Amino acid sequence: MKRVIIIQARMTSSRLPGKVLADLAGRPMLSQQLARLRKSKETDELVIATTTNASDDPLVDLARKEGVRWFRGDEHDVLSRYVGAAAESRADLVVRITSDCPLIDPEILDRVVRELQESVKSTDYASNVMERSYPRGLDTEALFRDTLDRINRLAQSQPAREHVTWFINRERPDLFIRRSIRDSEDNSHLRWTVDTSADLDVIRAIYKSLDVSTRECPYKDILAYVRKHPELASGNIHVQQKDS
């Protein structure tokens, strides 16, 4: 079974354009995220799924430099982008990650993938976002290729085409067997994703303080540091999350 992480990315973020290439500890933010994803032990390949827009040419250049596969598709039909990227990479299992999560944790990602693989005969989809307990920014969704193809055949609404797993979680969850992965404690109030300049400031502070870019820095270490420095949690607490 080939397990592929597909990272959706584009330069035209409405709130913080170009954020995926913003400097983070001396490297583009997306490069830092790829470095953390490469530490996954339960996946086989990384693919950047971007758009056919000329504005996203720099993301293809980054993919070349990082030595990862890329796929280009429709800007707004992100579901079709995932289907195309999965087909081109011959994925049997797809892990959906967004490109604004530079603290993504490979151990948590691997747990989600294992939960899906171990219940292959009884589960279509597994994630840690259905019942949030981890900080936002560690979001991981895993689904089998045939589940992704089924969503693509059935999903027609604009939100379902744009948000990939909207159909399975919001429109017709009754058609799928879903598995929710939760942590032993609830830290869902923490915001470790990058959608605004305030978010980026928080992530930069964490990277600098913990030297995240040059050493192993798992979720629990970051959590312990943030608890000792509550000003980090308050730095972006006002940011309203968009649908994803």
Q: How many domains does one find in the chain? A: 1
Each residue of 167-209: pLDDT tens digit? 999 999 999 999 999 999 999 999 999 999 999 999 999 999 9
Q: Is the pLDDT of residue 241 over 80?
A: no
In terms of residue numbers, what domain contains 44?
Answer: 3-195
Element (H, E) at 206: helix 197-210
Q: Smallest Cα–Cα separation from 167: which of 179, 156, 183?
A: 156
**Residues forming beta bridges with residue 94, ordered by sequence position:** 4, 143
Each residue of 64-93: pLDDT tens digit? 999 999 999 999 999 999 999 999 999 999
User: Cβ of 241: how many Cβ atoms within 10 Å?
Assistant: 9
In a domain, 227, yes or no: no
In a domain, 241, yes or no: no
Look up the pTM and report it.
Answer: 0.96
In a domain, 230, yes or no: no
Q: Is the pLDDT of residue 242 over 80?
A: no
Chain-wide mean pLDDT for the chain? 96
In a domain, 177, yes or no: yes
Percent of the chain with pLDDT over 70: 99
Which of 41-45, 86-90, 108-112, 212-216 has the least mean pLDDT? 212-216
Q: Is the pLDDT of residue 238 over 80?
A: no
Give the residue-averaged pLDDT of 103-118: 98
Q: What sign results for the dihedral spanned by CA atoms 25, 26, 28, 31?
A: negative
- Using DSSP, state whether 232 is helix, strand or coil: helix
In a domain, 235, yes or no: no
Give the residue-averaged pLDDT of 101-122: 96
- Domain containing 187 — which CATH number? 3.90.550.10
Position 13 scores a pLDDT of 87
In a domain, 224, yes or no: no
In a domain, 155, yes or no: yes
Position 243 scores a pLDDT of 62
In a domain, 208, yes or no: no
Q: Is the pLDDT of residue 60 over 60?
A: yes
Each residue of 143-163: pLDDT tens digit? 999 999 999 999 999 999 999
